[in-house]
Structure 1
């Protein structure tokens, strides 16, 4: 059974997202825990999450890297599937020994610079409502789950179980800059093309100066 990243040594992990963020995140976490891909750990890349779920269904000892809510949805259909490691927590654990701190950030708000400069009040109003929305979802899982189902995203029952593990967070200002710039630096080290060839300048981070 898997209780730590170290337990992945000698194992095969099914995953999707080769050449994109999932690959770089997995490589980073494995490497920081002393494991080399191809030597200590084998990664079998699939074209989509559903194929990883299928692999789990076929082999009770299989290991897969899946995002929420796919994990919860898969577990709901197969009681032998369970979550062993939370990659967000594993990422955070690595930061204790890192000079440049970062967070595993998978969702951001992006706006054109000219729009932000032309409509500062609208941007602030949106961010306030965005933060309130996140707070509401985290504090009202039942109601949020029903809304998610009403927009045909996923079933309410799955959403309710998945939401507490989705790490939906609002971060802004200097805190956002530190965590996001550190994360982009990690991606840049893995593959510069993943961040457009070079790291962004300071003015990329809204409200951080």
Structure 2
């Protein structure tokens, strides 16, 4: 199903990766403890995903709590999965948020990374202009706009359709576009019957449709559908923080501080949605109210990879039922999962 030659080529360069660029995170109050006794870095860069979870990282940077660890703390947002993979393989990205399956795939293909935590447990929705579409079962025969073929959200849509007993290549028409923003714009312009959109694109579409009096609604919570079809609670360990091994070996205290900071920052985001929306607006190139309204829809819950291992392996195994190549042929090894078990 998948053409992984581009990823294979990236992996061949893993052994030639350049020395680490100084990179990293930010944290909250307990970061002072992590900063004691270790050399302060000149620069830390944390790389975020182009979706609502980056609001958590924006809070980490804005808090200034990791100032004892670095003279400069920055947040950069990667824009495409290929850009993220290339940055990780080359060593340009050392602490980064990415889809968990993509991290497992890179690990299995020789890229030295580990999963630190899971940040979001499902943020994908099907938006529909047909008011009769209310469940995943209703999309048979429809055209669905989807971004990033052979990456999220495409893989998750395919996974849920297969669980339903539908053939994604025959029973629906998946029309691929270059990004979730493009999918939203085309859908609002009248293309497709549905659009598979992550947050905050789903909320942005909902708000604009209401303003323009377009009959568009949030028809299907894909995460809820996945849980119902698998007999599990609604939750997909979809994306989280990962780290290159060389950075982890050199700065284990920083990685631990970042994880703890993510936990604290997530609590702040959940209880200060308006302020969090303002923090995320510039990063995600969206109005602050859109980002703020998207926060309740992305199932924010920070759990270490070791603690989330069972959920991760169930999700990975479901993906491998479609094609083992999605994970690089196997479940990742024990060392992939950072944190206390």
Q: TM-score, normalised by structure 2?
A: 0.55
1:132 positional shift: 0.4
Tell me, what secondary structure is at the counterpart of 2:310? helix
Say whether the 8 Å CA contact 2:225–2:234 is kept in structure 1: no
Tell me, what secondary structure is at the counterpart of 1:170? strand
Q: Structure 1 residues 117-126 or 127-136, which shifts more?
A: 117-126
- 1:5-84 alignment, distance < 5 Å: 5-59=136-190, 62-79=193-210, 80=214, 81-84=216-219
Say whether the 8 Å CA contact 2:228–2:234 is kept in structure 1: no
Q: 2:332 aligns with which of 175, 200, 207?
A: 200
1:78 positional shift: 1.9
1:151 positional shift: 4.6
1:40 positional shift: 2.1
Tell me, what secondary structure is at the counterpart of 1:108? strand
Please give the alpha-carbon distance, in whole angstroms, between the structure 1 residues aligned to 2:340 and 2:229.
24
Aligned residue in 2 for 1:132: 264
Q: 1:156 aligns with which of 250, 264, 288?
A: 288
1:152 positional shift: 6.1
Relative distance call for 1:18 and 1:139 in structure 2 (3 A) is: same
Aligned residue in 1 for 2:125: none
Aligned residue in 2 for 1:4: 135
Q: Structure 1 residues 127-136 or 101-110, which shifts more?
A: 101-110
Q: Which 5+ residue runs of structure 1 have no aligned equivalent? A: none
Please give the alpha-carbon distance, in whole angstroms, between the structure 1 residues aligned to 2:340 and 2:332.
13
More helix by proportion, 1 or 2? 1
Relative contact order: is structure 1 or structure 2 higher (C-alpha 8 Å, sep ≥ 6)? 2
Say whether the 8 Å CA contact 2:184–2:205 is kept in structure 1: yes
1:93 positional shift: 1.8
Relative distance call for 1:206 and 1:74 in structure 2 (3 A) is: same
1:180 positional shift: 1.4
Cα root mean square deviation, aligned: 2.5
Q: TM-score, normalised by structure 1?
A: 0.85
Aligned residue in 2 for 1:185: 317
1:163 positional shift: 0.9
Please give the alpha-carbon distance, in whole angstroms, between the structure 1 residues aligned to 2:235 and 2:339.
18
- Cα distance per residue 1:23-43 (max 9 Å; x no partner): 221111011112222332221
Aligned residue in 2 for 1:147: 279
Q: Which runs of 4+ in 1 moved over 6 A?
A: none
What is the number of residues matched between the two proteins? Answer: 206
Aligned residue in 2 for 1:94: 229
1:50 positional shift: 3.6
Q: 1:169 aligns with which of 280, 301, 305?
A: 301
